[in-house]
Every structure is written in structure tokens, then in C-alpha cells.
Amino acid sequence: MQTAIPSTREETVREMEELRRLLHYHSHRYYVLDAPEIADAEFDRLYQRLVKLEQAYPDLITADSPTQRVGGTPAEGFERVAHSVPMLSLANAFSAEDLLAFDTRVKSGLDGEPLEYVVELKIDGLAINLVYEAGRLLRAATRGDGTEGEDVTTNVRTIKAVPLVLNCQVPPVMEVRGEAYMPRPAFDRLNEERLQAGEALLANPRNAAAGSLRQLDPKVTAARTLDIFVYGMGAREELTVGTHEQTLRFLQELGFKVNPHFKVFKTIEEVIDHCESWAEKRVDLPYDIDGLVIKVNSLAGQRRLGSTAKDPRWAIAFKFPAEQATTIVEDIVVRVGRTGVLTPTAVLRPVRLAGSTVSRATLHNEDYIREKDIKIGDTVIIHKAGEIIPEVISVVFSRRTGEEQSFTIPEICPECGSLVLRIPGESAHKCINSACPAQLREGIIHFVSRDAMNIDGLGQAVVTSLVDAGLIADAADLYTLTAEQVVKLERMGPKSAQNLINAIAVSKQAGLSRLLFGLGIRFVGAKAAATLARHFGDIDLLRQAAEEDLTALDEIGPRIAESVVEYFARPETEQLLTKLAAAGVKLTEEKRRTTEGLPLSGKTFVLTGTLPTLTRSDAAALIESKGGKVASSVSKKTDYVVAGEEAGSKLDKAQQLGITVLNEQELQHLLGGA
């Protein structure tokens, strides 16, 4: 999509019309049919584009523009209900800068009055308005277009967390608002059942929740295990609370389920830190959140700020980088892994996803491709959560043209030409050649990966060149490489060669747990590796362990134990370990790490910009080895900011907060000349 404003007015008019048409179409699919065709991030991009054009040409804003209206239209089949207080949407913030701008707007709206923010999780479900009369649930409605929603009372009654009668004295009429959602386990179960029944899978828990609440048969809703968190009130007569926080506590006392993770802050900087911290923590929640909601705490302040036609000025939604995106499968290629298994991979038209550009997604195996019916040329929705490689979750069948091509696993290995066989009883296909060069290469790629030895600068391309040039025949050979050898590789300058050698040297201290994982012992994942390392503390003790010593440990089952014993009995393992030890690679692990007594214990560092010789992760490893902590964003709790070339907003912030800024040399000095 273009980013510049079109040069002529006619072009702008045309683009705006097209955007409105697309946004209406997709809103209908999303809000009314509960069957989106594109990922939310793509919808948001189209929407932001329209906002930008409307800002440039305010006279071209039409009353029916999606930027002027809330949500969708109520669906057929339900009674319509008018909301006594409109149910608005929320403006979005996609970055710290957006939150700072929100803070500035709020402060000027309140003439600089002292201010507090309440930050809540943004549950990814759908808004429900609950009307209580004399303490009894009278009606429940969806948001609809904000003015009128659908009457879904009978269905909402099946949600156990919705109190039908309230605990104590309440005003004669009271409206409570909350988010109905489907917990992740219930969603996975539902999709599993649909898969068995040959029905279309639901795109995400939000759409599943919306679809479940809008069933004409309440028995279906009841079977779907929905839940609700409430977060505010609509009409609120005769209430004495003065802040949003008090409202939440009051609702809790009345017997409503309020999400426990809300917090009050005095500054926007603390709000930003808090929001960023949830980007990782959220994967541990049993339900989906798509961001956090920041609200002005004082209700008087909220009233003073008021609302636009679409959203309140006293609140904003901070959205995480998108985890889903829509793109096209341009090709399907096969990669041979370190165990010889062939993994089909989709080559995608590059697309932004969860903060990075993605051009590949795993397709796991042939059965997976069949099940999802993925073809070359298909438009697909892809998904990425946490650190996991993106996955294709579904095909947008309505975009099929008939030109798409089916894919089958090749019968001979694309790397060595040997025969490929399907492993009996599994869905995997495998190259039968145990000396297949792909296996060595992939083994090294695994060895240096982030959760293993974590060697920066050793990506796929460099490893491939090293293997192809015959410079390494096993992982231990990495440690005898010299900068002179490395610099001869294609696209390798003297500086990056030296950086690579530094990073390899740093990895010698990675410790037993990372090493064990990096060795790629069958069934030994990062977690089992950590358990083994913590328990044995030394690779020699682990090598002598019998299967029953291993299975005695929590989390180590017979399959892992058998595999570990078999691995250490191999002569080539013996050889490899001898070489690693000779190279000075650490083969032990402190049984428990404590930072007490270390020189940097209790100090928090933030790294920004490019340092002259150390990569970020090497610098972090050095700091941590001296007991320091490395954080991702600058706050008042930061002790030092280490800044290199092209340091950005973190450096500005450090200067604002008066935090000590170090260059690499000063850091090295602090580390004791390390």
C-alpha cells in the first residue's frame, strides 16, 4: 500500500472511496458474520491510511466513513436494543510515542491538573452491556453500532460468571459493561471438534466468542464455555464513587468478575513500561488479550474530557504488534533438518508480523498441508506467538482463483539426491542418507541458535558458507576458526569477521544447559536440558548416569532418558566432547545461579544503538555474568544506559531522566576491563 498522499484531489477521492468500500466489506465480515477474511493488522493498516487521508482532506470526510462510526450493524434474527449511554470504541496507540501524545492531549484537556491512569488488560472478546433493574439481570446486549445492539439476554444468562442477582444494595437501574470472551482451552477444544466434524475452523477466540453469543439456540451458547470480565458502567445513577479504580472495586464487591491485572499509575512513563512488559507476559494467560486499555482514573476528569462520535478522549487502547497477518504463499519449499526430516516451508510475500518482517512460515508436514488444504498461490492468514516460527492458520478460500497449485513432498532429497521415505507411524518424511550435508548444516544452525549457544552473527547463510567451504565438520570446529579464515567468506568484512570470532568466544561461557540443548540430542528440548544441567552440574556426571538415574528426575521420561544414554554411548559424541573441552567450552553449570556478591548485582542496564565491537547480546551476557540485569526499556529504575551509534529514543529518555550514559569503553571499564 502506498504511503504518500496522492498528488491530485481526484486520486485522493478515488483512494478514499476504495478504502471505505474495503473497510465496510471487512467490518461486515468481522462484526456481523464473525468470519474475517483478513488479519486485524491489515484491517488496521487500511483504517490508519483512511485516517491519514481524512486528516489531509477534512472536507472529504463522509458521514458513513468507518472512522465516524462504531463497529458494525446489529445482525438479523435478534431484537434490537437501544443503549441508554452509547457504547463507544477506543482510539488506538501502536507505540510509546502514541501514548506520549495521548498523555499530552489529556494534560492539556485537564489544564495540567494532577492525574492518574488506570491500566487494564484489553481482553479480546466482544463488548456486552448488562442492564440490572432492582438488582436483577433484565437484559444483555451486544455493542452493535454503538447506539443499538442485539438483545442476547438468553445467551448471556448461560455464562456462569454473569450474576443474575446482585449481592447488595444497588441503584434501581444499573448498567455494567464488560467483555465476553472464550478462554483459549475452550477455543482449542471447539476447533478440534469442528475439525473432527469436517466443519470450517474459527479464525480466533474473538470471532468464536461473538459467534457463540449470537446463536439463536441458547443451548449451543451454553455448550461453548464463555466467560466475562467487566470493566465499567454505562448508566450509573446515585453512585458515590469518584474514580474508575473505585468503580472496579465496587463491581468486584457486587459479585462481578473483574480482571485482577489492573493497576494505577501516576506517570505515562510507568504506563509505557507496564504496557511493554505485558507483550511477553501475555502468552501465559489462558485467554487472548490484544493490548492494554489506559483510562483516566478520575471520573470528573473523564467527564471534562468527553468523547468524539466514535471514542472517549479519556481512554486509549495500546495495541501489541500484530500476531496475525494476511499474505500470499508464493512457493512451497522443502528443508532438510538436522535429523534428516523434510519440512515443507511456505515462501510468503513479505509481511509485517509481531514487530518483524516475515517471509516464511512452517507447514510442518504433508498431513498438515492436506488438512488445511494449502496450495501455492493461496491467500493465507499467518500467525506468530512469542518466539515461535510463524504458522499458516488458514486459507482464505474466497480468494481462490483456480490457478493455485497443489504440493507433494519430493521423492528424492533436494540436498543429496538420496531416497526420501515416510517414517512408519509418523507424519514425517526423512532423507535416508545419514551423511546428508543438510544434517551437518542444520545441526550447527541449531547449536548456535538463541536458546542454545546463542552466537550472534551466525545465521543460516554464514553457517552454510562455513560448511560449504569445509571449514567446519562439527560444532567444536567453530571454536578453532580464525578471523583470517572467516573474512574470506562471501559478504564478510573484517569487522563482522572479528565480531563473529568475539561472539563465538563469548559463547564458551554459555554453560551446560545451553550446550546440552545445542547438541541436539533427540527429545532433549531446552527445558529438559536445563533440568539435566541443574541436577548434574557437570557433563562427566551426566555421561555416567544410567537410565534410571535420569527418569528419577521430574520431567525426564523414559523416552528422553533412553535417548540421552544412547547419545553419550556413541564414539562420535566422545570425540566431540573432547574437542569442545580442549577448546575451553564450559561443560559445567553452577547448580543455582546467584548474583549476590557480584560487582554489578542489583544494577539495571539498558542497551541501545550499535556498539563498536560488542553485539548487544554479548554485552548483555557480560553484564549478566557480573550480576547485572538487562532491561528493554528505560525507566527511573534504570541505573545505566549503554549507548552506541544511532542510539534512538532510549538515549533521549535516559537524558531526560538524568540516567548515567556509558559508551562501550566505559562499560568495559565497569566490567573490570573484561
Ligand X SMILES: NC(=O)c1ccc[n+]([C@@H]2O[C@H](COP(=O)([O-])OP(=O)(O)OC[C@H]3O[C@@H](n4cnc5c(N)ncnc54)[C@H](O)[C@@H]3O)[C@@H](O)[C@H]2O)c1
Residues that bind ligand X (CB under 6 A): 26-27, 29-30, 36, 38-40, 43-44, 71, 89-90, 120, 122-123, 126-127, 143, 179, 231, 293, 317
Tell me which residues in 347-376 interact with Zn ion (CB under 5 A): none
243 touches, from ligand X, Zn ion, none (C-beta below 5 to 8 Å by class): none
Residue pair 162/137 in contact (Cβ under 8 Å)? The answer is yes
**Residue from 247, 298, 433, 531 binding Zn ion (CB under 5 A):** 433
Scanning 205-213, 229-237, 405-413, 556-564 for contacts with Zn ion by CB under 5 A, the matching segment is 405-413
Element housing 51 (H / E): helix 40-56
C-alpha pair distances (Å), 534 with each of 400, 588, 624:
52, 9, 18
Q: How far is the CB of 473 from Zn ion (least distance, A)?
A: 17
Q: How far is the CB of 337 from Zn ion (least distance, A)?
A: 10
CA distance from start to end of the chain: 49
Residue pair 350/329 in contact (Cβ under 8 Å)? The answer is no
Q: Give whichever of 272 and 622 is closer to ligand X, judged by the CB atom.
A: 272
Any binding-site annotation on 245? no
Q: How far is the CB of 311 from ligand X (least distance, A)?
A: 8
Any binding-site annotation on 275? no
431 touches, from ligand X, Zn ion, none (C-beta below 5 to 8 Å by class): Zn ion
**Residue from 413, 463, 606, 634 binding Zn ion (CB under 5 A):** 413
Encode burial over 32-45: b for 16+ CB neighbours within 10 A, e otherwise: bebebbbbbbbbeb
Beta-carbon count within 10 A of 164 CB:
11
DSSP-based three-state secondary structure for 244: helix
Q: How far is the CB of 243 from ligand X (least distance, A)?
A: 15
127 touches, from Zn ion, ligand X, none (C-beta below 5 to 8 Å by class): ligand X
Any binding-site annotation on 41? yes
Residue with cell 573474512: 487
Any binding-site annotation on 179? yes
Q: Give whichever of 27 and 153 is closer to ligand X, judged by the CB atom.
A: 27
**Residue from 182, 294, 381, 431 binding Zn ion (CB under 5 A):** 431
551 touches, from Zn ion, ligand X, none (C-beta below 5 to 8 Å by class): none
Residue 661 to residue 641: CA distance in whole angstroms: 5
Dihedral sign, Cα of residue 421, residue 425, residue 428, residue 430: negative
Q: Give whichever of 247 and 499 is closer to ligand X, judged by the CB atom.
A: 247
Dihedral sign, Cα of residue 390, residue 518, residue 475, residue 457: positive
Residues annotated as catalytic are 122
Beta-carbon count within 10 A of 344 CB:
21
Any binding-site annotation on 90? yes
Q: How far is the CB of 585 from ligand X (least distance, A)?
A: 47
436 touches, from ligand X, Zn ion, none (C-beta below 5 to 8 Å by class): Zn ion
Q: Give whichever of 247 and 433 is closer to ligand X, judged by the CB atom.
A: 247
Beta-carbon count within 10 A of 143 CB:
24
Q: Is 415 in the site for Zn ion (CB under 5 A)?
A: yes
Q: Give whichever of 118 and 413 is closer to Zn ion, judged by the CB atom.
A: 413
| Phi, psi dihedral angles at 340 (to 5 degrees) | 90, 0
Residue 38 to residue 46: CA distance in whole angstroms: 11
DSSP-based three-state secondary structure for 11: helix
